[in-house]
Amino acid sequence: MPRLISFGVFNLIISVLFLCPKIFAFDDGDFQYWNTESISKKLSQHWEVTLEEEFRWGDNAGNPYYNHTDLGLNYSGFATWLELGLNYRHINEDKNSDWQVENRPHINATLKCSIYDIVFSSRARLEYRNREDAENYWRYRNKFNIKLPLKLTVLKIQPYIADEIFYDFDVETLNRNRLYGGFSFKIVKNLKGEVYYLWETTEKSDKWNDAHVLGTKIKLSF
């Protein structure tokens, strides 16, 4: 089972932003930088198409090792508290100095509710990992997000926390956990930004390894 990670993550955000530690590549405790850019377009009242690009740098954020392109179609017409999505993700990842391709279709169901203006959401994802030179398998992911009812300054800065679990069906175990702490903000009309700290724990060969990630996102919607 993933290790429990303290909600003291907010105390670490500032440290990551201003005191990036010297941590060595892909070892336990590696510091990384992830950048995501996405665009979404409303096709109708309930249908939306999305396109996302993400790039990741490891080895103390010095070496690019991962990128993906994700195309999706979302539907929100069943209920205000439910959104469904069908996506395809194309991944390139550097493994032992060899860039390999993964094709990953996935389906998503996101439940949403609001209590005292605090927005809760739970995204369930089932994905099929079709990997180059490796066995294919199914994986389940669930990301639980809490967005606080604050919109500070003219940028409408809104903090959030989230946790995501990963369950691999081939080994029948939970073997990865991601804990997020961050905030979103408005740049201009239809354009939002996001900065977050991510603490990822992954089980490899019966040992849990950590990665500390500074992430940024840009989201354009129209």
**Cα end-to-end distance, the chain, whole Å:** 41
What domains does the chain contain, in order, with CATH numbers? 9-221 (2.40.160.40)
pLDDT at 196 over 90: yes
What is the pLDDT, as a whole number, of residue 1? 46
Amino acid at 134: A
- Going by C-alpha positions, the residue among 155, 163, 161 that lies closest to residue 193 is 155
Tens of pLDDT along 24-64? 336 899 999 999 999 999 999 999 999 999 999 999 999 99
What is the pLDDT, as a whole number, of residue 26? 67
18: enclosing H helix or E strand: helix 9-18
Tens of pLDDT along 145-179? 999 999 999 999 999 999 999 999 988 899 999 99
Tokens 């990741």 identify what position? 56
Give the separation between CA 112 and CA 91, rounded to whole angstroms: 28
Give the separation between CA 110 and CA 124, rounded to whole angstroms: 6
pTM of the model: 0.85
Tens of pLDDT along 72-119? 999 999 999 999 999 999 999 998 889 999 999 999 999 999 999 999
Is the CA virtual torsion 128, 26, 214, 101 positive or negative? Answer: negative
